[in-house]
Amino acid sequence: MKLVLLLLVLLIALGILLVFLPMYLVWTNMHPPRGDGRNPNPRKLGLPHERLDLVTNDGVHIVAWHLIADSGAPVVFLVHGLGGSKVGMLDYAARLHRAGFHAVLMDLRGHGESGDGYCTFGLDEAKDITVVLDAIRNKSGIDSGRIGFYAHSMGSSAAVRALASEPGLRGYVIDSGYDDLASLLRDVGRTFYGMPGPITQLGCNAYHNITGHRPETVSPAAVLRDCPAPGLFFHAREDRTIPFARGRALYEAAAGRKLFIEVPGDHLAATDEPGYENKLVEFFRQAFARPDFDPATAPLSGDAPLSSKN
């Protein structure tokens, strides 16, 4: 009898664990470390800039930096990933600024210097980008007919939601993005946490319970199917944060002319590859200059070749 009771208790404990573990893991990832939103900063790098303090339509304070280029130059928005900040994008922004572009980088809600807010993996973060876009769009000296964005990981989902339908979008670069949130939650549950397939659905349910939205509504792939702008995609083959298959599926869904570059290593490993920043700059240079630009056929200069597969 005692053995039966013990087994019953163990089964109940296991059931509770299986139910609450996915919710705990989703909740934890929705509350990442803030990242440093202050140091270094554009002033220390000698970059002409302005600080933007803005408020979204749902009342969240957003802090952004605008690196100011020559009058009439195009603009690139840079969006960090989960647990990052605008500081982590500053080197890339400085490189793009030296190439002659306005560069705009921001702290998404719950990150850096911006206001509180849990991460929704692109759903609410799109509002943060939109308020920055609205502030930048009509500034004198910016060619709002030539817009681009460069985004990492979770930030790519937000950037796609906020910017892919912009008529002035001329090109975008996504590093380690994903196609849709429901598939990502299931994949990460299986591959990273070793959960059985049916249990991974509980992670999707947890997201729905916390946000009030089904994760299927967060689908960058669905948005890019209607986006004609050219795109450049990077993804690492051994990525454990966002599995390679999710990045490849996002690329396959994109409607515009496109190029997919895969590299060895884990999450965001392409950023450590020689020639990465040169390819980034050259992509935007050609995308802003040529309406017929095709990254799959146009040479993108770099210090060393990164493997590409289309």
Contact 267, 150 (CB under 8 A): no
Any domain includes 126 = yes
Contact 74, 148 (CB under 8 A): yes
Any domain includes 307 = no
Any domain includes 204 = no
> What's the CA gap between 203 and 206, in Å, rounded?
5
Cβ contacts of residue 200 below 8 Å, gap of 6+?
A: 22, 185, 186, 187, 189, 190
Structural domain harbouring 124: 31-180+218-289
Any domain includes 246 = yes
Give the model's pLDDT for residue 39: 78
Any domain includes 209 = no
> In this structure, what CATH number is given to the domain that contains residue 97?
3.40.50.1820
Any domain includes 163 = yes
Q: How many structural domains are present in the chain?
A: 1
Give the model's pLDDT for residue 40: 83
Any domain includes 202 = no
Any domain includes 80 = yes
Give the model's pLDDT for residue 74: 97
> What's the CA gap between 168 and 165, in Å, rounded?
9
Q: Which residues of the chain have pLDDT under 50?
A: 13-15, 17, 303-305
